[in-house]
Amino acid sequence: MPRLKYPLAVPVKAGLKTINIFELRAETSLRDNVNDFREYADVLYSAHAPTTIGEERLNIAATDSDFRNECILVFKDYIDRCAMFPNIGQINMHFGLKNWVSETQTRGQKGDYETHIESIRTLSDYARSSGIEIVLENLNCYWALNNISDDTDFAQVNWENSNEAFGMNPEEWIEMCLDVDRDNVQLCLDTSHVSTYGHRFPEEERAGKIEAFLNRPDLITHVHWSDNYLYDVRGRNDSHLSVGKGSIPTDFHRRVKALQATILLEHFYTKEELHEELEYIERL
């Protein structure tokens, strides 16, 4: 078993039996209603907040205050539900939307930075009374959702006016945590999302560019650890491979392993693959 400072977790979909056999912890996903996982209460230490309301993406950065307040209420309700669990100490949240124009997003298409910071502070104050820490996850750079075909060279892509959330690049992700400036708001590093960002650069620069996500390890208290394809077009998508099955540099993985953070292996395929992955992590 891996010797990490903190124990590893896997998604609840791995099943309680597997979680217990491997002596792991668990996290609910953004599609799970945490209330459905009471029998997991002993092993549930973190939970992924929802990202949608009906067909629409939640947006606590929205300049439309009615929609923004509705979204804040969704998160407060979620915090309340998590607070009923004895061990849930961290809630993972996605950032709001900077710009999202689509048929399904009828409200909250535009977001504002300062508004976003204020909304996170509101949720920080709310979560504090339950002793819950909010961790903000670096998000995907959305290639497919912006209709960029696989054979379009990265250098030809015009990202202006694309659909985009806050906190996709490492500089903004870190800056937002610092600007929120609350001790119960920290960062969640998603290493599969990192690859979708790396693909914006020439192959020879990618490994260097993604290192910027590790510039402030002191702010990272949670990790969504997966592998992805940093050097072929599949890595523009959020592949969530088992660690060791992709091409994120080994050194990057080593530095993730060394973080003082709780870690979720954010995928589950088979018990055999999990076993192999744990052995790979042990050897890192």
**What residue type is 29 in one-letter code?**
S
In terms of DSSP bridges, do strands 262-265 and 220-225 run parallel, antiparallel, or are they unpaired? Answer: parallel
User: Cβ closer to Zn ion: 190 or 277?
Assistant: 190
- Residues touching Zn ion, count (CB under 5 A): 4
Closest distance to Zn ion from the beta carbon of 269 (Å): 16
In terms of DSSP bridges, do strands 97-99 and 56-57 run parallel, antiparallel, or are they unpaired? Answer: unpaired
Which residue, 22, 18, 107, 26, is CA-closest to 61?
107
User: Cβ closer to Zn ion: 51 or 157?
Assistant: 51
Range in contact with Zn ion (rule: CB under 5 A) among 52-60, 67-75, 220-228, 247-255? 220-228
User: Cβ closer to Zn ion: 25 or 224?
Assistant: 224
Closest distance to Zn ion from the beta carbon of 202 (Å): 26
Closest distance to Zn ion from the beta carbon of 138 (Å): 9
User: Cβ closer to Zn ion: 92 or 115?
Assistant: 92
Range in contact with Zn ion (rule: CB under 5 A) among 79-87, 135-143, 155-163, 229-237? 135-143
Binding of Zn ion by 222 (CB under 5 A): no
Interior/surface letters 66-101, b for 16+ CB within 10 angstroms, e for the rest = ebbebbbebbeebbeebeebeebbbbbbbbbbbebe
Closest distance to Zn ion from the beta carbon of 9 (Å): 12
Which residues, 6 or more positions from 261, have their beta carbon under 8 angstroms from its beta carbon? 6, 189, 220, 221, 222, 223
Range in contact with Zn ion (rule: CB under 5 A) among 179-187, 203-211, 216-224, 250-258? 216-224
User: Cβ closer to Zn ion: 149 or 225?
Assistant: 225
Which residue, 106, 136, 101, 112, is CA-closest to 61?
112
Helices (DSSP H) in 34-112: which residue ranges? 65-83
- Report the residue from 27, 70, 164, 190 that binds Zn ion according to the rule CB under 5 A: 190
Query: From the centroid of its chain, how far is CA 72?
Result: 18
Which long-range CB contacts under 8 A does 33-41 form with residues at least 24 apart?
33/81, 34/78, 34/81, 34/82, 34/85, 34/88, 35/81, 37/12, 40/12, 40/16, 41/85, 41/86, 41/87
CB count in 10 Å sphere of residue 41: 14
User: Cβ closer to Zn ion: 32 or 64?
Assistant: 32
User: Cβ closer to Zn ion: 56 or 266?
Assistant: 266
3-class secondary structure, 27: strand
Q: Which residue is nearest to Zn ion (CB)?
A: 224
User: Cβ closer to Zn ion: 100 or 204?
Assistant: 100
User: Structure tokens of 175?
Assistant: 């800056």
Closest distance to Zn ion from the beta carbon of 190 (Å): 4
- Report the residue from 224, 236, 253, 257 that binds Zn ion according to the rule CB under 5 A: 224
Closest distance to Zn ion from the beta carbon of 167 (Å): 11
Range in contact with Zn ion (rule: CB under 5 A) among 81-89, 177-185, 204-212, 223-231? 223-231
Residues that bind Zn ion (CB under 5 A): 137, 190, 224, 266
